[in-house]
């Protein structure tokens, strides 16, 4: 049974809580009522006073410690929170509370007595509360959670941000995460599945297997494992994610079921093969926050993220830099996404004052085991990552920790390879950590692929974190130049030309070129798919910058230009994307470079009907006049550029040709004055469960329907049949709370997050702004 509603909640200052708040007779009548999952921090306003950090970010090349604002998002997550809920629990042999994640150090109380605790905010855990329960009566469940200052390098969220379940079991039952359907053999005609079950107070079980086509198989054993032989198995694949179900039943009738898939993953010197087919991993790194709703888990928001990413050709996901919520893996199973499941951002050597390093020695081994046991049945999970850019890479004895983690993974799950995101080069080799991985994951090292492949002839390579291009959606700075370094602008934005990156990173085309030229590299995981809260590189010390610029998609889920670069390279979807916008009243008669992303052979550009010439993609060069010449060649292999376009109002048109014939055209017009609001809904229907979300995009358009690219009107949303939960324009500099029905548009666009009620029917959303015609849209709640 999921516990979601009627939780009483109050936030406290750290180290100020009286233990009486966990007692049954404590008066919580003036506390707020919240719904789980819940993130207390996202409810607040952004402020530079929220968790400022004096730190030297070695990974970013910082030479000395600085006061960093916005590193953890500028939201009020530091503090302690207490949740209280009364639940009637009927008589049963055993009763457990299962938590998918509580951020961070948590303690669980039943009727005023502590029943359990957990240290790691990203870890799922179970608490046996049997001895603390008064059966047949109302019982108080109280949960304490705390987030200390300087506990992370990005926004973690706060509180019970993942789901809770109350689970009743008989004396003879299955242990928490105790079922493993392990694929032990697979060929063209047959699969062997080893079904093992961690049994408590019993032996023997029956396993009923249901195939994707409905066929059923049943096996019974007196022990704790049974071998299933499946003829002509139906394989799980990114293009056809077919799932089996195993229902495990004990003699007393107690049962649990798990989903699993059958697939063949080969990690070779020639690249990655899935079910015998060569496949590049077109991957994204993703933090766990969901933009305007913070870290609180929401299935419809996660599914939207995956769908948007699949739309540009993504087939792989890295859970940066900690284990994900179970719902993400369930969706990746169902939607055909490969997953790199990552454990830690720190080992023993700390990056932040109150991070995981404080608990590593005591808990890391068991945490790895528990994470693997939870996630091992998911066919989407194809590799385990023991860490990200851990500082032990530079440490002479760091290899010992790497070895111990590697051995723990292999002892727990020998069926999947081990990797890590390694950034210290060549130290990760000379200090030997790279040799305690099955797959060497290199962060931002496209220039080393060929050298390492030839030098270390028993290793396979992966771009575990790549590009880190930075940009702000729809904002452009001139001149449009390649800039690799700590880029700065007075408006705290970064140009959407997609040519800027921090000193340790690169523009997207450099990594794309390296992947194309080195097919033995199994793929890349770009940093990042979506913008995320916190880590506002390059504006570490400038406020109000408070969220990342790295995303291919902004925090609101609106694509930046770079989205179409990947779509043109990673998919066969006909793509012709032209930028920038064409409203440059202050640049009449001046140059405005025009760029195009496409997967057609040739493109011709027109300005008000006058041809600016045709462009085709550049060939790969091997000799260069200088560094700029090399960079320019890499970029021109994947984008088309007209550098000397003289701006005049009107329109620009890109005409794409295939085999010499026109195949597609796109036009961008100079927009007139803002006239009205145009709405579109991400979903035509959502569940009427009080939890499902819809995302309504508002565009400020002129009288002819052209988006006004400079519009920043304040738009107010109202709804009937649903509620306006949050608003976001994807602006990394916005300091108003997300949880309000109005906000300023950025680059002519704004997104409202609308949540269903539990009433079935039609929901209608209206958007208004001073001086503009309103917009209205409807969708179903069912």
Catalytic residue set: 389, 465
Which residues on adjacent β-strands are paired with residue 298? none
Q: How far apart are CA 556 and CA 541, in angstroms?
A: 24
| 685-686 β-sheet, strand order | 685-686, 775-781, 761-768, 714-720, 742-744
Cα 267 to Cα 442: distance, rounded to the nearest angstrom: 15
Query: In angstroms, rounded to a whole number, what is the distance separating the alpha carbons of residues 260 and 181?
Result: 7
Tokens representing 554 are 């902004």
286 beta partners: 319
Element (H, E) at 720: strand 714-720
Strands 281-286 and 523-527: parallel
State the CB neighbour count (10 A cutoff) for residue 419: 25
| Helix axes of 627-636 and 508-517: crossing angle, nearest 10 degrees | 70
Q: What is the four-CA torsion angle of 307, 309, 311, 315, rounded to 10 degrees?
A: -100
Question: Are 733 and 46 within 8 A, CB to CB?
Answer: no
Following DSSP, what letter does each residue of 65-134 receive, concatenated?
-EEESSTT-SSS--EEEEEEEEEEE---SEEEEEES--BSSEEEEETTEEEEEE--TT--EEEE-GGG--
- Please state, in angstroms and rounded to a whole number, the distance separating the CA atoms of residues 606 and 594: 10
**Burial group, residue 130, by CB count within 10 angstroms (0-12, 13-18, 19+):** middle
**E strands present in 203-315:** 205-210, 216-221, 225-231, 244-249, 255-260, 265-268, 271-274, 277-278, 281-286
Asked if 368 and 409 count as a contact pair (C-beta separation under 8 A), the reply is yes
Instruction: Quote the Cα angle for 192-193-195, to 5°.
Output: 150
DSSP letter at 618 equals P
């Amino acid at each position: 049974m999921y516990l979601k509603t009627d939780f009483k909640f109050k936030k406290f200052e750290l180290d100020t809580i009286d233990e009486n708040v966990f007692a049954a007779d404590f008066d919580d009548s003036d506390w707020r009522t919240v719904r789980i999952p819940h993130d207390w921090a996202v409810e607040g306003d952004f402020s530079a006073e929220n968790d400022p950090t004096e730190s030297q970010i070695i990974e970013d090349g910082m030479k000395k410690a600085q006061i960093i604002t916005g590193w953890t998002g500028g939201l009020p997550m530091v503090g302690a929170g207490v949740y209280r809920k009364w639940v009637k629990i009927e008589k049963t042999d055993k009763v457990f509370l299962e938590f998918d994640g509580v951020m961070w150090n948590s303690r669980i109380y039943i009727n005023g007595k502590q029943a359990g605790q957990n240290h790691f905010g990203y870890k799922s855990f179970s608490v046996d509360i049997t001895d603390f329960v008064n059966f047949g009566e109302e019982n108080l469940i109280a949960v304490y959670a705390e987030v200390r200052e300087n506990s992370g390098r990005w926004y973690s969220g706060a509180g019970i941000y993942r789901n809770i379940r109350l689970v009743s079991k008989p004396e003879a039952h299955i242990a928490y995460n105790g079922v493993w359907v392990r694929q032990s053999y697979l060929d063209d005609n047959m699969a062997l599945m080893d079904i093992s079950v961690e049994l408590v107070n019993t032996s023997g079980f029956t396993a009923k297997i249901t195939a994707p086509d409905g066929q059923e198989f049943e096996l019974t054993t007196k022990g704790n494992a049974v071998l299933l032989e499946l003829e002509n198995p139906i394989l799980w694949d990114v293009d056809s994610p077919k799932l089996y179900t195993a229902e495990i039943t004990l003699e007393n009738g107690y049962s649990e079921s798990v989903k699993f898939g059958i697939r063949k993953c080969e990690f070779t010197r020639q690249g990655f093969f899935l079910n015998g087919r060569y496949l590049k991993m077109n991957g994204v790194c993703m933090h766990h926050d969901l933009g305007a709703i913070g870290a609180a888990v929401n299935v419809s928001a996660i599914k939207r993220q995956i769908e948007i990413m699949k739309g540009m050709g993504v087939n792989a996901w890295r859970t940066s830099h900690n284990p994900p919520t179970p719902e993400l893996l369930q969706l990746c199973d169902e939607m055909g996404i490969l997953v790199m499941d990552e454990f830690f951002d720190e080992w023993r050597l700390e990056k932040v004052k109150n991070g995981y390093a404080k608990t590593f020695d005591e808990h890391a081994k068991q945490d790895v085991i528990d994470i693997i046991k939870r996630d091992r049945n998911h066919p989407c999970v194809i590799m385990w990552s023991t860490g990200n850019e851990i500082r032990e890479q530079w440490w002479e004895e760091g290899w010992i920790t790497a070895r111990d983690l590697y051995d723990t993974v292999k002892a727990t799950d020998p069926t999947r390879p081990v990797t890590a995101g390694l950034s210290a080069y060549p130290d990760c080799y000379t200090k030997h950590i790279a040799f305690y991985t099955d797959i060497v994951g290199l962060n931002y090292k496209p220039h080393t692929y060929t050298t390492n492949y030839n030098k270390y002839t028993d290793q396979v390579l992966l771009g575990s974190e790549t590009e880190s291009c930075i940009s702000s959606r729809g904002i452009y700075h001139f001149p449009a130049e390649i800039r690799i370094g700590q880029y700065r602008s007075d408006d705290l934005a970064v140009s959407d030309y997609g040519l800027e990156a921090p000193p340790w990173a690169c523009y997207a085309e450099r990594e794309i070129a390296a992947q194309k030229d080195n097919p033995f590299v199994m793929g890349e995981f770009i940093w990042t798919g979506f913008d995320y809260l916190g880590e506002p590189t390059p504006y570490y010390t400038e406020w109000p910058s408070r969220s990342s610029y790295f995303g291919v998609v902004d925090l609101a889920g609106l694509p930046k230009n770079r989205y179409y670069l990947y779509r043109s390279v990673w998919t066969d979807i006909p793509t012709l994307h032209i930028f920038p916008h064409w409203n440059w009243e202050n640049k009449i008669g001046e140059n405005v470079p025009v760029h195009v992303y496409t997967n057609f052979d040739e493109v011709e550009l027109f300005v008000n009907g006058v041809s600016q010439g045709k462009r085709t993609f550049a060939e790969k060069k091997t000799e260069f006049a200088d560094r700029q010449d090399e960079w320019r060649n890499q970029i021109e292999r994947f984008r088309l550029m007209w550098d000397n376009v003289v701006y005049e109002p009107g329109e620009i048109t890109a005409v794409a040709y295939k085999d010499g014939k026109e195949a597609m055209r796109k036009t961008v017009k100079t927009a007139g004055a803002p006239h009205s609001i145009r709405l579109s809904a991400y979903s035509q229907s959502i569940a009427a469960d009080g939890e499902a979300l819809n995302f309504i995009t508002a565009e400020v358009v002129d009288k002819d329907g052209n988006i006004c690219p400079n519009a920043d009107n304040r738009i107010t949303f109202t709804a009937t049949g649903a509620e306006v939960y949050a608003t976001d324009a994807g602006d990394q500099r916005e300091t108003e709370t997300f949880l309000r029905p109005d906000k300023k548009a950025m680059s002519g666009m704004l997104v409202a997050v609308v949540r269903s009620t539990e009433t079935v029917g039609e929901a209608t959303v209206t958007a208004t702004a001073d001086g503009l015609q309103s917009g209205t849209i409807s969708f179903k709640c069912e």
